[in-house]
Structure 1
């Protein structure tokens, strides 16, 4: 803590809080003269239960009351924090342009289509949705890449292939081999505030996206290349529409440039 104090005294400092914690709160108390920002990336208390959740709620609110600016990654988070703070700015998630450009556009034609997901598979992952998709597309491959913290309750269809977690560059390369990107999240309190980064990466690669109706994805129904299912009964039709979607390399490139992290934080105007 003393080293941080010396650093702050040495020049102009912007204190950015990325996760509500006792340490972050203490920094805010000790650095009252520094401009500060809270990056509200998720509904953090929703990740906890019991006493941990009870402790997280007041801690996060105290941090919110002490910072100068709040960056909210989703519309839901912005609406929530506007009740507690006068300067809340919507700053969606984004993508690493260099990683996307390193692999080039996604393949758009092949007899055997690959419906793919890259990310953590945990309590928010909708296994029923994925199995329904697999049953509806028996001649296609459902490729799931990432660590599994919550296993399915039923035997998986044979066309679902589980693959291990990998680094970000490898993950983007794996996405470039998909024909359709998947975001199969359950609709609950935790996902209500989520703006998935994989959405930006899929679309920057020219992939159509099939998603469940949750969080920020709910607001993207009707966007070009985005197909939102309201229930499992919608999955076969949405899968057909996604497979028939014709991506455009110029559109994908323009989307990528508009949705970089650099563009996001420039628009947030934190340093003005």
Structure 2
């Protein structure tokens, strides 16, 4: 059986949907999957709420039964925190040490593997990839990119310097959007695109009737991608509607109208209960360097729930033409909400659900395997 080893930036234990994990779960049905978890730091041991402390000190993997197949999750020993560093020389020295720490685990795993039957996937962690790549010499190495790394507040500081270095050493790049494909095709000869999907099981049994409640909502992280002024304008334009924000809040949530409610984070299996109450779903993103490369997870989740969607024109959303109302201005966004609510019907709900089924994570996992095989 072929083995896939994923050296991941997304942590296994964090409670939100991650494309890396969703694809690997489905792949585990037919492949052996080894997941090298996010390299937690010594600081994380004290401050990160999701650190699997027992697993970090264990030499054995956690065997996770996913419902599709088994995934072997390994944790590195704690590494040194480095994000505070501003000196390139000091950063490289500390990351060299971190690479050695991670190498202890990688060497142990390598002993189990046949390089001819194994592929390594670095999931959006080019800094660690760069400092551990020598441990994977002889294995086919792939880079999986799903965001504009240099524009992210949480990984861009050093990632933007090491991503170009790291990708020169990989055999292939797999991206999640057309915007990222255009970026990497200028830098690497072998780039494939596998877009994000939807966990249909989390949005099953959508109602075919229009909700009677006056609620609209946004699903996902409330962060610097969100156009805060647009949120305020929508809330003020529809004072008799509640606007619910379902997801982690990563920026200030103060100074919003009283009809904006922050529900916090819920388990993925609980999302549909809330979304079904909404008469309309929103994607109020700003248009900038970061968002233009996004293929939003939430768009297929909205459609799988049968909901009308209004979005800003922040990225290439041509895949959703006829399914999602994409607008250029704040005024058109506000007008579009009224039209989508008024003209929603059972036929449109059914079409959205059927469309989303074509974009399931099962389908994306098959595309991902084909990309690896080519």
Smaller-chain TM-score bracket: 0.7 to 0.9
Q: Write out per-residue CA displacement over residues 64-98 of structure 1, whole angstroms, 9 at most, x where no aligned residue.
A: 22222211111110001001111211111111122
Q: Is the 8 A contact 1:112 1:141 kept in 2?
A: no
1:233 aligns with 2:331: yes
Counterpart residue number, 2:151: 46
List aligned pairs for 1:63-102, cutoff 5 A: 63-101=166-204
SS in 2 for 1:144: strand
1:271 aligns with 2:368: no
| Change in 2 beyond 3 A, CA 1:21/1:266 | same
Q: Write out per-residue CA displacement over residues 184-239 of structure 1, whole angstroms, 9 at most, x where no aligned residue.
A: 1111111111111000100111111111111233x357x22311221211123201
Partners in 2 of 1:153 and 1:197 — Cα distance?
Answer: 26
Q: Higher relative CO (CA 8 A, sep ≥ 6), structure 1 or 2?
A: 1
1:115 aligns with 2:216: yes
TM-score by length of structure 1 reads 0.88
Deviation at 1:48, TM superposition (A): 3.5
1:213 aligns with 2:313: yes
Partners in 2 of 1:204 and 1:234 — Cα distance?
Answer: 25
Partners in 2 of 1:133 and 1:225 — Cα distance?
Answer: 21
Q: Write out per-residue CA displacement over residues 33-59 of structure 1, whole angstroms, 9 at most, x where no aligned residue.
A: 22222111101121148xx74532231
Q: Is the 8 A contact 1:180 1:242 kept in 2?
A: yes
Corresponding pairs, count: 265
| Structure 1 runs of 4+ with >6 Å offset | none
Q: Is the 8 A contact 2:127 2:159 kept in 1?
A: no
Match of 2:278 among 164, 178, 186: 178
Partners in 2 of 1:33 and 1:117 — Cα distance?
Answer: 45
Larger Rg: 2
Deviation at 1:252, TM superposition (A): 3.4
Counterpart residue number, 1:12: 117
Note the residue ranges of structure 2 that are not aligned, 5 or more in a row. Answer: 1-105
SS in 2 for 1:142: strand
1:242 aligns with 2:340: yes
Q: Is the 8 A contact 1:127 1:152 kept in 2?
A: no
Partners in 2 of 1:213 and 1:137 — Cα distance?
Answer: 21
TM-score by length of structure 2 reads 0.65
Note the residue ranges of structure 1 that are not aligned, 5 or more in a row. Answer: none
